Structure 1
Amino acid sequence: MQTNTTTNLRRALVVVFALLICKVTVAVMLGYPNYFPPNFQSDFLQGREGYFFGTYQWAFYPHIASGPAALFLGMLLISFQLLERVHYDILIISLRKPSNVRHLSPTQPILII
């Protein structure tokens, strides 16, 4: 059984990591005005104008759109209460890409992490 000190330390770490994830997400999203429409004078897009309007554009926009969602969904993985209620494998399978699930037979999925 965990002591109160251990429980409090875990909760404090979860709060610190959640705040860090929120800070990073906000910092990333504050740069979005440079990407819609693309500002090639911004730090990240500088020098990419020559090849931006091809396949790079089609990979870039889904990447920056899904980044904040991935960070917030990742916070669910550090929620101890959620992990106690929901089986960890189900949580991982639902949040990770489907290619991580391999089937030996149609009724027995195996998780590859």
Structure 2
Amino acid sequence: MAALNVEQGRAVKGYDVVAYFTDGQPVKGSPRFSVRWRGATWQFASAGHRAAFRHMPDRYAPRYGGYCAFAASQGRIVDIDPRRWKTEDGHLYLNANRLAHFLWLRDPAGHIRKGDAFWRTVPQREL
């Protein structure tokens, strides 16, 4: 299981990962609609979003354990700002800040290739 970025027990700082795909924007989740997966609590804005995640969590979970995608492409692990994001080829990528997001957008395919290679070297741990 991949290392997962968890803050106070919550994945993606409490944001609804399904909303990035369905609403096209970051939306804060609610403890009312939450589920435990991979040692973290994932929060959603609705019961429908929670059900979608339960059905296919790997489809919605962000790449690189929810850490900054641009930083991963540079061989580093850095926290994220859930408001800096991009979906690419059906996957969610989060970034640390505006600059990381801007740089990510300049070459998503190249950054994904480098990030994937780096992420394979990150020690996996059970949460």
Query: Same-fold call, TM > 0.5?
Result: no
Specify which structure has the bigger relative contact order, considering alpha-carbon pairs within 8 angstroms and separated by 6 or more residues. 2
Q: Which structure carries more strand by proportion?
A: 2
Q: Which structure has the bigger radius of gyration? A: 1
Q: Which structure carries more helix by proportion?
A: 1
TM-score, normalised with respect to structure 2:
0.23
